[in-house]
């Protein structure tokens, strides 16, 4: 029986056993919290100061929070966001991607090759 982190994969007539390497959950959570906090304090502060009454006023605050998150990641992503703020203000997928990319993924390619060759 194979370890839960080990599986056999097949492509055409080739087959290999690989060890799946996943990030530590705590490191993913830490990075997710970090990017989620980006712009959140400003949103809360401005919400309390302005007491928005319309959906449009709340959306403007949300756009600013999304902008802070995109800006933290890269200028290219921020420029992309600014091209269509209305349809790109949902940062959920971006935050998950950031969390995974900034976690501690133990990529050990050499160990995989030696152990399962």
Task: Give residues with Cβ within 8 angstroms of 52, minimum separation 6.
Answer: 58, 60, 61
Question: Concatenated DSSP letters for 18-33?
Answer: EE-----HHHHHHHHH
The model's pLDDT over 85-100, given as tens digits with 9 standing for 90+, comes to 999 999 999 999 999 9
Tokens of 56: 């449009």
Domain ranges of the chain: 24-106
The model's pLDDT over 9-25, given as tens digits with 9 standing for 90+, comes to 999 999 999 888 788 89
pLDDT (mean) for 62-73? 95
Prediction pTM value: 0.69
CB atoms within 10 A of CB 53: 8
- Judged against a pLDDT cut of 70, whether residue 106 lies above it is answered with no
pLDDT (mean) for 78-85? 96
pLDDT (mean) for 42-65? 93
Q: What is the pLDDT of residue 5?
A: 79
Question: What DSSP character marks residue 89?
Answer: -
Nearest Cα to Cα of residue 91 among 60, 68, 61, 58: 68
The three-class DSSP label of residue 11 is: strand
């Amino acid at each position: 029986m194979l370890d839960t982190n080990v599986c056999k994969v097949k492509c055409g007539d080739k087959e290999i056993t690989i060890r799946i390497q996943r990030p530590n959950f705590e490191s993913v959570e830490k990075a997710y919290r970090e990017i989620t906090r980006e712009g959140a304090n400003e949103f809360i502060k401005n919400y309390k100061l302005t007491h928005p009454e319309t959906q449009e006023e709340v959306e403007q605050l949300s756009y600013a929070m999304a902008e802070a998150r995109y800006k933290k990641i890269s200028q290219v992503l921020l420029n992309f966001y600014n091209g269509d703020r209305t349809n790109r203000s949902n940062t959920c997928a971006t935050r998950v991607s950031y969390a995974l990319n900034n976690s501690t993924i133990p990529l050990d390619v050499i160990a995989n090759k030696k152990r399962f060759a």
